[in-house]
Amino acid sequence: MPLPLPYDESKEFWAGCQRHELLIERCKDCKTYRHPPIPVCPECQSWGKEWVKVRGKGKVEGFTIVTRALFPGLPVPYNVVREELEEQKGLLIIGNVIDCSPEEISVGMPVKVSFEDIISDRSLFYFKKVRFWHWFKFIAPDHADA
């Protein structure tokens, strides 16, 4: 399986994955989240930034199902999904939804981040479908974030 190679701007993100935390870069001045990480805030042009642990919950904003093998060791079919995180409208992250058939994936489907230790020093993030989320949120709104 091809693994991401952390670079200067993304090192903190991947270190967070290693600890099973989803970290998103945020402007230190105007508090706007941005992903992928970039040096300057697109809203206020500040160079100040901080890494914030987010809850990792959101919804599918768009997706594709890959059916043609592009990499050896990466069996098809698999999905590539763009999730909108709940912390901010338009805060998008691209990943895979696991434990879910291609037919189950739909725009607007609630998802939650999950992590998997691939090798000793590398963990990847995934998303999982939040099953029965609407029902659970209705009967137990104080516990729906679990």
Shortest distance, CB of residue 4 to Zn ion, whole angstroms?
Answer: 26
Shortest distance, CB of residue 31 to Zn ion, whole angstroms?
Answer: 7
In the list 3, 46, 53, 74, the residue contacting Zn ion (rule: CB under 5 A) is 46
30 binds Zn ion, rule: CB under 5 A:
yes
Q: What angle do CA 25, 119, 60 make, to 5 degrees?
A: 45
Sketch the per residue contact string, 58 through 77, with Zn ion: x for CB under 5 A, - otherwise.
--------------------
How far is 46 from 139, CA to CA, in rounded Å?
43
In the list 17, 22, 23, 41, the residue contacting Zn ion (rule: CB under 5 A) is 41
In the list 17, 22, 24, 27, the residue contacting Zn ion (rule: CB under 5 A) is 27
How far is 21 from 14, CA to CA, in rounded Å?
9
Shortest distance, CB of residue 76 to Zn ion, whole angstroms?
Answer: 40
- For residue 33, give every residue at least 6 positions away whose Cβ sits within 8 Å of its Cβ, in sequence order, or none: 24, 25, 26, 27, 52, 54, 85, 87, 88, 91
Part of the chain binding Zn ion (CB under 5 A), chosen from 20-28, 62-70, 97-105, 106-114:
20-28
Part of the chain binding Zn ion (CB under 5 A), chosen from 3-11, 30-38, 90-98, 122-130:
30-38
Query: If you search the block for the tokens 């998802």, which residue do you land on?
Result: 111
- DSSP class of residue 100? S
Residue 139, classed as helix, strand or coil, is helix
How far is 82 from 91, CA to CA, in rounded Å?
10
The residue ranges that bind Zn ion (CB under 5 A) are 27, 29-30, 32, 41, 43-44, 46
